[in-house]
Structure formats: C-alpha cells, structure tokens
C-alpha cells in the first residue's frame, strides 16, 4: 500500500518493518499469545501494510486517497512546467509523458497517456506504467530531490525518528525490535508488580491529580513503568519515575513487533524520550485495534486514548508526538478506515491541529470532537472528561466534519466565537520566552501571518531569528529554516550554543555533547538544503511538502535578496513583489507563519531605519502582518516593532548581547513606547475559520 517513506533530509528510506516469523519471537509464551489475541481471525489493518522493504531505492511519499490537494495548485504547476494538457473529467492528461523511456514519435496512440488526478495529484502513465503521489511527481521533475530539500539536524540518536545508516540490514532492524520487546517485558512487569508505587498511583488514583485508569485498561495497552535519569536545566542529573507507552503492531501472522516506546516522567512533563534509537514511528494502542475495525478515535495523548477506550469501549489510539505532528509514514495504517474521530485537546493549539490533521487524513471521513459548550464545564482533554465523570460518548456523538472550505454559516462559527470570547489569551498565540517586548506588542506568534525583519548588515538578524525560533521550538512549534546566506552547519552550531544556555568550547567532552544533542534533537526542527540563489517555485514546493509531511507551522526564510539572486533594476523589484505575494498567499492558504528577512535600502549610517527603509517597493510592508527592525543606535542594539496588524500595539526595547549564550537580552530600563503615528494604515484582514477478539495483550506481558 505504500513503498517506504524517508525521514526528511537523511535520504534514507525507512519503512515500518513488521517482522513476521518465529525467529524474531522465540519462546515468548504468554505475551505473544495475548498480543495475537488483539487481532481477529483475519488480517489486521496493519498487516495490509507490512512487512515492508527497507530498501533505499524507493523515494515514494505516501498520500492518502482521502487527501485532497487544491486543484488550482496542480494546474498552476502543470502550466509553470509548460506541459501541453487536456482536461478529461476529474483528470488532466499530459501530452507527452516525461517518464516514458521510448520516444513518442508524435503518434497519437503514444500521446496523452499520462493522467493526473485533479483532486489528489496522483499520476499514472498508461504507456510506461510510471505512477505515484503528487509529491512523487514533483520529485521526478527535480523539484523535490529525494526528500532532501528539507532536512532535520541529522545527528545520531534523534528522538524525532529513525537515524540508522543507509541500507540498514534486516538484522539491524531485528536487533532494534528485539531490544524494545525485551525492555517492554521488563517495564510492564514493573507496573504490574508495583515496583514504582508513585507511577501506579499516578495512573490509577481517583483523585484530581490521578488518571482514573483501571488495571484492565493499563494491561490492555501494555503500559509499563521504569526509572530514568534526566539532565536538569542547571546541568545536574536526577532519576525520576516514568510511565512507558509502547508502539506495538501485529503482522499477518499476528506476531507482535515493538517498534519503540515513549518514556515520560511523572514528575516533570517535559522530561520525555523515545527509545530505542533506530526505532520507527508508531501509534500507541494500535495493537488493540480489531482487524475488522472501520472507525476509531485518535487522541492527542496516551492518557486520553486509554480514557476514551475505558469509558466507551471504542477503539482508541494516540498520536506519537502529541499535537506537533502526524508522521506521513503512519498514514497507510489508517487508509482502510471509513471514519476517524479526532479528539484533540480543547485548547487553541489542539483545535487548530485537529483541522490540519483532518485535511491530511481526508476531510470526508474525519470528524472532530469540539470543546464543551455547557456552562461550568472546564475540561482540557478526554482524560479530564473521565476524571470529571462526564459522558465521553456524548462528546463523540457531537463530533462533526469540517465544513466546506469556502462556505460557512454562523451556526458553524457560534461555538468557536464563544470559545474565543472566554479564552482571549489563546488568540494571542505562542509566547516568546526570551524577549518580553514581542509579547507586550505583538502579543505572541500566530499562524497565518507574514513577518518581515530588517536591519543593517551585521546587526544580528540571523542570530536574533535563531533565538526566537528556539523560543517557539521549545514549545513544540515545528519549524523549517531556510538559510540562503549562512550554511546550515554554521546555523546549527549557533542554535546549539543558544540552546545549551552556556558557552560551548573545544573543551566540551563527548558525553556532554551527546547529552546536549539528545535534548536538542527532540525539537521539531528542519532545514532547507537550498543555498544562495534559488528558483522561487522550488522553494514553494519544498515549503508545501514540509507542511504536508512534517506539519510545519513556522517557516523562516533568510534572506530575500540571497534567495532571488543577482537581478537588476525593475526586474529585481518585480521578482521581489512576486516572491512576497507568493509567501503571503502561502502563509494564508497553509495557515503557517512565514518570517522573511529583507535587507534595508542604503541609508545614511547616522539615520535610523524606518518602515520605508525595507528594500523594494511598498508591497512588502503592505503585505506583512508584522514589521520588525533591528537598529544600530549609538553603539546599541534596538529592536523596534513598526507594524502589528493583530492589535496595532507598537514599541521598542534596547538589547544587550550575551556573548556566552549568544543571545539578545532586553535592557528593560531603556524600553520605550513608539509613537502611534508610525503605524501604517491597517487593511481589514479576513480570518478563515477554519470490540477486540481473542485474548488481551496484557497476558503476553505476564510471562
């Protein structure tokens, strides 16, 4: 059903490899028999996708048949490439297939054999057999080269996904799965025997802080307990009791594979890690889904999935990475389902991502559980509903599909508007951690906006953006960095130094470096491989892919002049206007925040920059929601907010530079309010409103 999905930037194709065969699971007794019990006599949904090859020859990107791509964007791409085409109902027919190995000789029976779906972008040539997804089609044109135009910081042991060497052998995969399997046997025994009483209490206590989960539920989901050591902010280490959530699948022979497990501290929520290194993505609770399942609930967190199942008996699984992302490599597992109910947290982040994931999974089969509207009911998620003894089936019954993209009634907006009225702070967006000025003026970082940053050469724009992007990354905002002037290696070092909050020198030991990078790699951070002058269309293609595949919410492009390259005169202004319009349109259509660096015009050094100093025509600042200027003023750095479309507040603050941590810090005593008359006229902004068969899994663990 899918041919393997590569981890962005590694160039390595990693598929979820379910290993069938007794050689992998010798003499596992009760645990094996119980996990088998969670599938029916037929094949499970998972077995339709595995076992899968781990070959590095495939570069296919899976796109669900339920996923719909904007028809206009497909046509624009075809026209941009200059292909002759015809329309035939739901498809575009391309005159000459560029993948056919044999010449066409202009024979009519050789032409118009390449079909592209208007809805999904999937293509197939009825002459040569070439086929694939819309992203595969772009990749074959050289616009997405082997998934490598976006790359994560590819350091060993990343918790963001598999990091095994290219061409990894099945033997290596077996070792990873065997390690995970053995570890989970130990961890589940720990919980069952109450080796860590605090963990047991945290999970089962019927108190305001307990999770209210039953022993039966915990055994069914194969939850474990352990103790792990975490590095604190002050550099010290501390052992903490943890809950363990496994990602288990079953193959066609109903043999279990433990791909990975999430370890989460019960003392500090942010203390979390994925083990073992080299494991693959998975859904928590997937092994509990019946083979004939047609409908299930997907929750944001593990506790929520167990709460929904415990209260309703409806098959429930959780996302592997919370609201941050829905990995593309897991989509094939969900393909056979007719209905998916998304129960995300009721906060703004959860509800926004519910809409994003619904589109990714296919709006026609996805329903979203809305926040409660009853007065006096204050719950954040499904687990809160369980603890509050609410009827979870009622919440599921209220789940609704997303309305049509272009048509809304007030009835559909009514509950959203009420939520915004009683939770105004959430409208402000994600708060910045290091510069209070941006919270007091901009109020926060929001999706769907375009921010322009300008400042003199060498003023520290890239360093500042690196710092601000880390503020957001630490809060789970997936970010794509496009650095066209500074190599990714150098940018990565700067970000690592800022993240470490201490001076990194040549004296750093390898263990210290590994501990630091282990934490750093938990950030949902990606880089564009492009450098220097690059075609605008290629950048937009890579941006579109990053939003689809990695659920990116913040895209940084540094800077516009290097991106566009050396053009002169009016041609340069035209190119800049076209780029700014494209980025503005992308931010709105994809509901992501785009931050764009633009160098200023040449101004006298003794004069401060203003909003008209941004290079090019006035279109840049007119299209932008926010305009920031990093000034050099009498040997001091000063950050000014010159435009703020959200609520109009403007302001400035003097900055000092911490050379040890490589970050800017506010000098609060010199903070000054900007005069309101600096503000540009604000255009009105349109806001788019967006039953198991057999034995239970726990019996296998009780070997």
Q: What is the pLDDT of residues 22-71, one digit of tens each?
A: 222 323 333 444 444 433 323 333 333 332 222 333 457 788 888 888 88
183 contacts: CB under 8 Å, gap ≥ 6: 258, 261, 275, 276
Q: How confident is the model at residue 502 (pLDDT cuts 50, 70, 90)?
A: confident
What local confidence, expressed as pLDDT, does residue 601 receive? 86
Q: How confident is the model at residue 285 (pLDDT cuts 50, 70, 90)?
A: very high
Q: How confident is the model at residue 272 (pLDDT cuts 50, 70, 90)?
A: very high
* Strand arrangement, sheet containing 626-633: 150-152, 525-528, 479-483, 554-558, 593-597, 450-454, 626-633, 636-644, 651-658, 663-672
Does 3 score more than 50 pLDDT?
no
Choice between 255 and 10, residue whose per-residue pLDDT is larger: 255
pTM of the model: 0.76
CA-to-CA distance for 657 and 666, rounded, in angstroms? 9
Render the burial of 207-231: b for 16+ CB within 10 Å, e for the rest: eeeebbbeeebbbbbbbbbbebebe
Most confident of 127-131, 194-198, 275-279, 346-350: 194-198
What local confidence, expressed as pLDDT, does residue 424 receive? 75
Residues in a beta bridge with 625? none
Choice between 502 and 97, residue whose per-residue pLDDT is larger: 97
What local confidence, expressed as pLDDT, does residue 569 receive? 60
313 contacts: CB under 8 Å, gap ≥ 6: 691
Per residue in 205-260, pLDDT (tens digit) is 999 999 999 999 999 999 999 999 988 877 788 999 999 999 999 887 778 899 99
Closest CA to 246 of 309, 288, 194: 288
Residues in a beta bridge with 614? 600
Q: Domain map of the chain by residue range?
A: 5-152, 438-676
What local confidence, expressed as pLDDT, does residue 159 receive? 38
For 435-461, what is the mean pLDDT? Answer: 94
Assign 337 to helix, strand or coil. Answer: coil
Q: How confident is the model at residue 568 (pLDDT cuts 50, 70, 90)?
A: low
Most confident of 196-205, 275-284, 628-637: 196-205
Per residue in 600-643, pLDDT (tens digit) is 988 777 788 999 889 877 888 999 999 999 998 888 899 999 99
What local confidence, expressed as pLDDT, does residue 145 receive? 58
Q: How confident is the model at residue 8 (pLDDT cuts 50, 70, 90)?
A: very low
Per residue in 88-123, pLDDT (tens digit) is 889 999 999 999 999 999 999 999 999 999 988 999
What local confidence, expressed as pLDDT, does residue 169 receive? 59
What local confidence, expressed as pLDDT, does residue 84 receive? 95
- Report the top-level CATH class of 438-676: alpha beta
Q: How confident is the model at residue 662 (pLDDT cuts 50, 70, 90)?
A: very high
CA-to-CA distance for 213 and 200, rounded, in angstroms? 10
Phi-psi region of 649 (alpha: psi -120 to 50; beta: other; left: phi over 0): beta
Furthest CA-CA distance within the chain:
80
What local confidence, expressed as pLDDT, does residue 31 receive? 42
Residue in the structure block whose two tokens are 């687990």:
383
Residues in a beta bridge with 299? 318, 343
Using CA of residue 335, residue 336, residue 337, residue 338, what is the dihedral sign? positive
Does 386 score more than 80 pLDDT?
yes
What local confidence, expressed as pLDDT, does residue 35 receive? 45
For 682-703, what is the mean pLDDT? Answer: 43
Q: Which helix (H) or strand (E) holds 669?
A: strand 663-672
What local confidence, expressed as pLDDT, does residue 616 receive? 76
Q: How far is CA 330 from the centre of its chain?
A: 13
Residue 564, preceding bond cis, omega within 30 degrees? no
For 535-546, what is the mean pLDDT? Answer: 91
Per residue in 136-165, pLDDT (tens digit) is 999 888 887 555 444 443 322 333 443 333
Choice between 226 and 402, residue whose per-residue pLDDT is larger: 226
| 119 in Cβ contact with 126 (< 8 Å) | no
Mean pLDDT taken over the chain? 82
CA-to-CA distance for 138 and 352, rounded, in angstroms? 28
């Amino acid at each position: 059903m899918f041919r393997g999905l590569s981890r962005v930037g590694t160039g390595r194709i990693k598929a979820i490899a379910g290993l069938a065969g007794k050689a992998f699971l010798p003499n596992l007794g009760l645990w094996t028999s119980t996990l088998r019990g969670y599938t029916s006599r037929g094949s499970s949904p998972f077995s339709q996708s595995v076992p899968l090859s781990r070959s590095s020859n495939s570069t296919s990107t899976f796109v669900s048949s339920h996923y719909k791509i904007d028809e206009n964007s497909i046509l624009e791409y075809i026209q941009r490439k200059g292909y002759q085409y015809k329309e035939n109902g739901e498809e575009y027919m391309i005159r000459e297939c560029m993948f056919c190995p044999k010449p066409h000789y202009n024979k009519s029976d050789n032409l118009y054999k390449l079909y592209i779906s208007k809805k999904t972008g999937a293509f197939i040539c009825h002459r040569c057999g070439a086929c694939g997804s819309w992203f595969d089609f772009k990749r074959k044109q050289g616009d997405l080269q082997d998934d490598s135009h976006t790359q994560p910081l590819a350091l060993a042991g990343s918790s963001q996904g598999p990091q095994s060497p290219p061409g990894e052998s099945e033997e290596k995969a077996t070792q990873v799965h065997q390690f995970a399997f053995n570890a989970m046997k130990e961890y589940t025994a720990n919980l069952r025997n109450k080796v860590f009483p605090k963990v047991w209490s945290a999970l089962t206590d019927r108190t305001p802080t307990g999770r209210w989960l039953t022993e039966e539920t915990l055994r069914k989901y194969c939850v474990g307990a352990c103790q792990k050591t975490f590095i604190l902010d002050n550099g010290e280490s501390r052992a903490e009791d943890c809950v363990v959530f496994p990602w288990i699948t079953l193959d066609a022979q109903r043999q279990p594979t433990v791909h990975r497990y999430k370890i989460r501290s019960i003392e500090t929520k942010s203390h979390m890690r994925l083990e073992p290194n080299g494991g693959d993505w998975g859904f928590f609770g997937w092994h509990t889904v019946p083979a004939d399942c047609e409908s299930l609930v997907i929750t944001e967190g593990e506790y929520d999935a167990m709460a929904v199942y415990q209260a309703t008996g409806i098959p429930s699984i959780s996302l592997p990475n919370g609201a941050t992302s829905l990995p593309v490599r897991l989509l094939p597992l969900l393909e056979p389902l007719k209905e998916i109910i998304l129960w995300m947290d009721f906060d703004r982040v959860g509800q926004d991502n519910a809409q994003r994931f619904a589109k990714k999974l296919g709006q026609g089969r996805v329903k979203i559980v809305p926040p409660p509207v009853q007065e006096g009911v204050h719950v954040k998620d499904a687990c809160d509903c369980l603890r509050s003894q609410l009827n979870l089936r009622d919440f599921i019954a209220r789940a609704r599909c997303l309305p049509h993209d272009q048509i809304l009634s007030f009835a559909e907006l009514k509950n959203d508007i009420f939520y915004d009225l009683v939770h105004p702070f959430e409208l402000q967006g994600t708060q910045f951690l290091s510069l209070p000025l941006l919270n007091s003026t901009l109020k926060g970082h929001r999706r769907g906006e375009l921010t322009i940053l300008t400042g003199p050469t060498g003023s520290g724009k890239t360093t500042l953006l690196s710092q601000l992007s880390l503020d957001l990354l630490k809060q789970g905002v997936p970010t794509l960095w496009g650095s066209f002037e500074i190599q990714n290696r150098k940018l990565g070092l700067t970000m690592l130094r800022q993240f470490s909050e201490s001076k990194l020198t040549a004296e750093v030991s390898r263990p210290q470096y590994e501990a630091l990078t282990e934490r750093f790699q938990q950030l949902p951070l990606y880089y564009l491989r492009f450098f220097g002058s690059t075609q605008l269309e290629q950048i937009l293609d890579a941006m579109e892919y990053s939003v689809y595949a990695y659920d990116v919410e913040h895209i940084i492009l540094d800077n516009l002049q290097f991106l566009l390259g050396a053009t002169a005169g009016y041609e340069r202004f035209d190119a800049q206007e076209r780029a700014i319009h494209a980025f503005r349109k992308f931010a709105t259509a994809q509901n992501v925040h785009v931050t764009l660096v633009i160098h200023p015009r040449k101004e006298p050094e003794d004069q401060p920059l203003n909003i008209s100093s941004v290079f090019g025509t006035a279109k840049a600042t007119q299209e932008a929601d926010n305009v920031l200027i990093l000034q050099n003023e009498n040997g001091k750095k000063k950050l000014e907010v010159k435009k703020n479309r959200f609520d109009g507040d403007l302001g400035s603050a003097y900055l000092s530079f911490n050379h040890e941590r490589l970050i800017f810090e506010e000098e609060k005593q010199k903070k000054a309010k900007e005069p309101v008359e600096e503000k540009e006229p604000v255009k009105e902004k349109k806001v788019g409103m967006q039953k198991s068969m057999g034995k239970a899994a726990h019996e296998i663990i009780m070997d």
